[in-house]
Amino acid sequence: MKLLISTYACAPNHGSEQAVGWNWTTEAHRLGHQVWALASPVNRAAIEAACRADPELAGIHWTFPDIGIWPLQPGVEPVWERTYNLLWQRKALRLARALHRTVGFDAVHHLTWGGVRAPTFLGALGAPLIVGPIGGGETSPGLLRDGFTFKAKVIEGIRDLSNATIAANPLVHGGLADASVIFVKTPDTRQLLTRSMQRKSMTFLEVSLQPAQIGAPRRARQGPPRLLYAGRLLYWKGAHIALQAFAQLALRMPDTRLTLVGKGPESGRLKAQAAAMNLDHKVDFIPWLPQQQLFELYETHDLFVFPSLHDSSGNVVIEALSRGLPVAVTPPQWRRPWPRRCIGCSLRPSALLRCRKAPSLALETSFCPTGSPPSIGRRRMPSPRRLVQHACILSHEAPERRLGVRLHVKTGT
């Protein structure tokens, strides 16, 4: 199949959406498809270096649409990135049209950004269009919004309004209407779509982890409890909730420690919060780590804390579980399609009001009762290759059959 993949976020040796873009594109090529990929020029050097290092990837045709009036630094995402992405999508369409006249694509896939509010204009090419997996239809519980700053509350309100009117948004409606199949990461996102869009959609979670990256089962670590958070420091990621819970836990377990890996606009506020709670000597802030070093950090901790309030993917949870690290999640994430036996606990709705008074209860009950962290079996996690196969099959299925196609397809079908 001649396949065009639009993967704005795409880079090797990264996590999150960049890993999704890289894994999906490279696995489509390894499956035998002829792949043309459109990616952000920010990661051009890293992509080209990885392809030179791996001869198997030599056949991927990479194109890096560039906004001439908006120069970028390699490896540095642009300020006002949503505006840049919109302009990039327009430029990508022009380049894709030229490629389509020459190549004649069998299918086109808008992969990343994987957000319901992220536009694609590639439906104008006329080839079968795959959109997603997309997320973003989730919302934060009202009871937990009083921990936001005033600015965050305003942004969250605007986001709620945007979600409520997403089907009427002219920037995204065309791409969703033109799609042959729409993959959504969560049922919440699917509910935002019109009925006609829902009929050609299905829940389909991308995987940013390669099977080779899954760690071996390990024994429980000896020593003082160590908690870990990894992710961007944004208001809706909920790191402030993790700090509140940790403060209560530290009263009962004085030798416990918390490590926060990430950077973002909430960094200063979180450090001030830790100092105000007299936790600055118990909390370690690490701005950034390469992916392999983050994997090594998983091995030295006892519990991963995922307090995000509306995360559609939560790829970092899969990473933590793959290294045998149990996870504590907030109520919005309890419905996610992760292995339930590996999730230590949830802050259930009945516990929300008690969260500020005794949030340590949530973290204390998250430790595995057997003292042995769970591990993910390789057979339980769908590989990126399986997901690519599934997407390509569905893009050419008759509409009335799409929802009946299962994930477990045979190689070569």
**Is residue 62 assigned to a domain?**
yes
The verdict on 28 and 124 lying in the same domain is: yes
- Say which residues have a Cβ less than 8 Å from residue 306's Cβ, sequence separation at least 6: 229, 314, 316, 317, 320, 327, 328, 329, 330, 333
**Is residue 376 assigned to a domain?**
no
Residue 9: its pLDDT value, please? Answer: 93
The verdict on 320 and 395 lying in the same domain is: no
Residue ranges in the chain modelled with pLDDT below 50: 334, 338-384, 394-395, 397-413
**Is residue 135 assigned to a domain?**
yes
The verdict on 162 and 42 lying in the same domain is: yes
Residue 253: its pLDDT value, please? Answer: 81
The verdict on 191 and 246 lying in the same domain is: no
The verdict on 284 and 168 lying in the same domain is: no
Residue 409: its pLDDT value, please? Answer: 28
**Is residue 321 assigned to a domain?**
yes
Residue 130: its pLDDT value, please? Answer: 92
**Is residue 119 assigned to a domain?**
yes
Containing structural domain, residue 295: 211-364
State in Å, rounded, how far the first CA of the chain is from the last one.
12
**Is residue 186 assigned to a domain?**
yes
The verdict on 76 and 52 lying in the same domain is: yes
Residue 308: its pLDDT value, please? Answer: 87
Angle between helices 16-30 and 384-395 (to 10 degrees): 70
The verdict on 123 and 83 lying in the same domain is: yes
The verdict on 183 and 222 lying in the same domain is: no
Q: How many domains does the chain have?
A: 2
Residue 21: its pLDDT value, please? Answer: 92
The verdict on 346 and 391 lying in the same domain is: no
The verdict on 294 and 346 lying in the same domain is: yes
The verdict on 43 and 121 lying in the same domain is: yes
The verdict on 137 and 9 lying in the same domain is: yes
**Is residue 189 assigned to a domain?**
yes
Residue 370: its pLDDT value, please? Answer: 28
Q: What is the CATH number of the domain that holds 73?
A: 3.40.50.2000
pLDDT tens-place string over residues 48-96: 999 999 999 989 999 999 998 888 777 677 778 889 999 999 999 999 9
**Is residue 244 assigned to a domain?**
yes
Residue 393: its pLDDT value, please? Answer: 52
Residue 354: its pLDDT value, please? Answer: 38
